[in-house]
Structures are given as structure tokens and as C-alpha cells.
Amino acid sequence: MKKGYLSLLGFSMFLIGILGLVLSLVGLDLSMLSFASSINRTFGLVIKLLLIFFGMIILYVSKTGSRVD
């Protein structure tokens, strides 16, 4: 995968996780994450936190990359 696509994937995961977390604080829910909250509120929170965490990891890996000299 190219670095640009990987950065876009990481940023999208991070943004969706943050939006889901902030909206759940005011009682709203993203439709794409509503399945997680319908099972259990704690499960929904864990899914949102995992999206944020793995989005940051993917974004970091895509920005640093490995350089062979």
C-alpha cells in the first residue's frame, strides 16, 4: 500500500473514533457505529477507543516508514 492511502486510512479511523466518542458523550451515535452500542455500551466504548488507538498507530507507521540507506 502506498503511504498516502495508509495515512488516509489511519486518519479516517482516528476521526471516526473521535467523532463517535464525542457524540456518545452528548447522547448521539454515528450510524456506522450503532451496532457496537446496541450490543453493550461498554463494547461500543471499547470499539471507539480501539479505532482511535489503531488509527494513531497506522498514521504513525505511515509517516515514519522504514528507510534503507
d(CA 59, CA 69): 23
Query: Comparing 2 with 11, which gets the higher pLDDT?
Result: 11
| Res 3: pLDDT | 80
d(CA 26, CA 29): 9
- DSSP-assigned states of every residue in 26-39: TT---GGGHHHHHH
| Res 4: pLDDT | 84
Q: What is the pLDDT of residues 13-69, one digit of tens each?
A: 999 999 999 999 998 988 888 888 888 889 999 999 999 999 999 999 988 866 654
Domain extent listing, the chain: 3-64
Q: What DSSP state is assigned to residue 1?
A: -
Helix/strand/coil for 47: helix
| Res 9: pLDDT | 94
Q: Does residue 1 surpass a pLDDT of 90?
A: no
